[in-house]
């Protein structure tokens, strides 16, 4: 056998080339839809969102994971761009910051129309595929971005938001985040609050906004999966059974994912893939395999290990599902469940749940002065008109 030692590297190279050619063939007609990309946040940190700076040119951008040549080389046909603002903006300028990040995503589409097509629907994604462009969608990463306001939720929808991550790494007054499960944060809502938290889920269903559970606690995962009338996604999470990081999805939740036709889009971050500083694509493929085993092939969002997936006996249809078709199915189901003819949710969150240090209280209590109902105002003026005139 020793005389054939040279054969095995040659076989490995040929096999890899075969799988790579197969992956390229598949992705030419089914390009990948990626559930989460933080490039807009990098544009803020590096350039203060000034896209016309020379170094901000997306065709030659360096120092980031993403630029236009990399998107093309990776056969990316759809991208949810993250409109992210950190938790330290909660109760401060979160809404302003979020709107600025939505604005920069729109400007990316305006500056590079040959590459990006901003869309808000599953049909828009398919149109971008036909035109050979990157369908660009907006995901708002963190419920603190709506500032506990159903009106802000609706406004962000009208600006193009098509998924909302219910929390980032902080609780909102109506939902608990993943750090509750580590013991670093205290539970406030027991998952979703019975009143406002569930109202947010109902309103997202009504509008047609995808519910994203990537950063939430297990209790929030289960509450949202049981409450939502449409499938949900985990836009960038992996399997807890393979890496016991609390940002990942445990098997009992994967069972709910299966029952609801929902989707887990596997993350590439080393800490979530291998629970250590270094990880490899084979380990990413292990997460894909595990989610497929527990929740079914339709529950997998593709993470990038095309060679690994093919070697592991995934059918071509399952690979296409992981690349794009599963996300399109979920998006279409969310759209079908929406009902703009139904009355919007209107009941505001109770004032005592809000940090009031930087807030006014209009609507919660009568403002000082003559802010009275007309009848009460007339009643208060009448004695003055009828009484003696004082000089």
What is d(CA 264, CA 387) in angstroms, rounded to the nearest whole number?
74
DSSP label of 239:
B
- Which of the residues 144, 212, 215, 287 is marked catalytic? 215
Q: Where are the beta strands (DSSP E) in 152-234?
A: 161-165, 210-212, 233-234
Q: How far apart are CA 227 and CA 208, in angstroms?
A: 15
Catalytic-role residue among 34, 38, 289, 345 = 38
Is residue 158 annotated as a catalytic residue, yes or no? Answer: no
141 is catalytic: yes
Q: Which two tokens stand for residue 294?
A: 């527990």
Given the residues 181, 305, 318, 345, the one annotated as active site: 305
- Marked catalytic residue, from 236, 245, 287, 290: 236
Tokens of 142: 């963190």
Q: Is 36 a catalytic residue?
A: yes
> Quick one: tokens of 248?
């990942």
Which residues make Cβ contacts (< 8 Å) with residue 284, sequence separation at least 6?
238, 266, 268, 273, 303, 304, 305, 308
Considering 36, 245, 287, 290, which one is annotated as catalytic?
A: 36
Catalytic, 350? Answer no
Query: Coil, strand, or helix at residue 83?
Result: strand
CA distance 215 to 165: 7
Tell me if 185 sits within 8 A of 179, measured CB to CB. Answer: yes
> Counting every residue, how long is the chain?
391
286 belongs to the catalytic site: no
Active-site option among 144, 168, 245, 290: 168
Instruction: Based on the residue annotation, tell me whether 38 is a catalytic residue of this protein.
Output: yes
Nearest to 33 by CA among 275, 302, 250: 302
Q: Determine phi and psi for 81, rounding to 5 degrees.
A: -85, 135
The Cα 15–Cα 304 span in angstroms is 18
Residue that the structure tokens 């269903």 belong to: 205
The DSSP annotation for 277-303 comes to: S---HHHHHHHHHHHHHHH-GGGEE--
d(CA 71, CA 133): 10
Q: Which residues pair with 34 in a beta bridge?
A: 79
CA distance 176 to 181: 9
Q: What are the backbone angles phi and psi of residue 233, rounded to the nearest 5°? A: -130, 160
Q: Which residues are catalytic?
A: 36, 38, 141, 168, 215, 236, 305
């Amino acid at each position: 056998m020793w005389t054939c030692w040279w054969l095995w590297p040659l076989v490995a190279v040929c096999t890899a080339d075969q799988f790579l050619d197969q992956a390229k063939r598949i992705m030419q007609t089914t390009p990948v839809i990626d559930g989460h990309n933080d490039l807009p946040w990098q544009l803020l940190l590096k350039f203060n969102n000034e896209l016309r700076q020379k170094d901000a040119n997306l065709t030659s951008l360096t120092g980031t994971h993403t630029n236009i040549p990399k998107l093309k080389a990776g056969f990316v046909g759809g991208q949810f761009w993250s409109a992210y603002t950190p938790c330290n903006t909660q109760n401060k300028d979160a809404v302003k910051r979020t709107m600025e990040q939505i604005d920069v995503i729109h400007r990316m589409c305006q500056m590079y129309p040959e590459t990006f097509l901003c869309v808000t629907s599953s049909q828009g994604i398919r149109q971008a595929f036909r035109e050979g462009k990157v369908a660009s969608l907006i995901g708002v990463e963190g419920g603190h971005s709506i500032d506990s306001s159903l009106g802000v939720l609706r406004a962000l929808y009208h600006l193009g938001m098509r998924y909302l991550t219910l929390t980032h790494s902080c609780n909102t007054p109506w939902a608990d985040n993943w750090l509750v499960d580590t013991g670093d944060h205290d539970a406030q809502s027991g998952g979703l609050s019975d009143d406002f938290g569930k109202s947010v889920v109902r309103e997202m269903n009504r509008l047609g906004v995808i519910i994203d559970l990537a950063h939430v606690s297990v209790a929030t995962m289960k509450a949202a999966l049981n409450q939502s009338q449409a499938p949900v996604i985990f836009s960038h999470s992996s399997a807890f059974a393979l890496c016991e990081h609390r940002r990942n999805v445990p098997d009992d939740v994967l069972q709910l994912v299966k029952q609801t036709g929902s989707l887990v889009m596997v993350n590439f971050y080393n800490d979530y893939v291998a629970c250590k500083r270094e990880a490899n694509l084979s380990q990413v493929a292990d997460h894909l395999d595990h989610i497929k085993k527990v929740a079914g092939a339709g529950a997998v969002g593709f993470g990038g290990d095309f060679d690994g997936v093919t070697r592991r006996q995934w059918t071509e249809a399952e690979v296409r599902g992981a690349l794009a078709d599963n996300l399109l199915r979920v998006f279409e189901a969310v759209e079908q469940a929406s009902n703009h003819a139904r009355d919007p949710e209107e009941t505001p969150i109770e004032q005592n749940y809000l940090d009031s240090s930087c807030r006014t209280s209009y609507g919660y209590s009568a403002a000082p002065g003559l802010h009275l109902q007309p009848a009460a105002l007339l009643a208060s003026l009448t004695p003055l008109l009828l009484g003696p005139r004082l000089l």
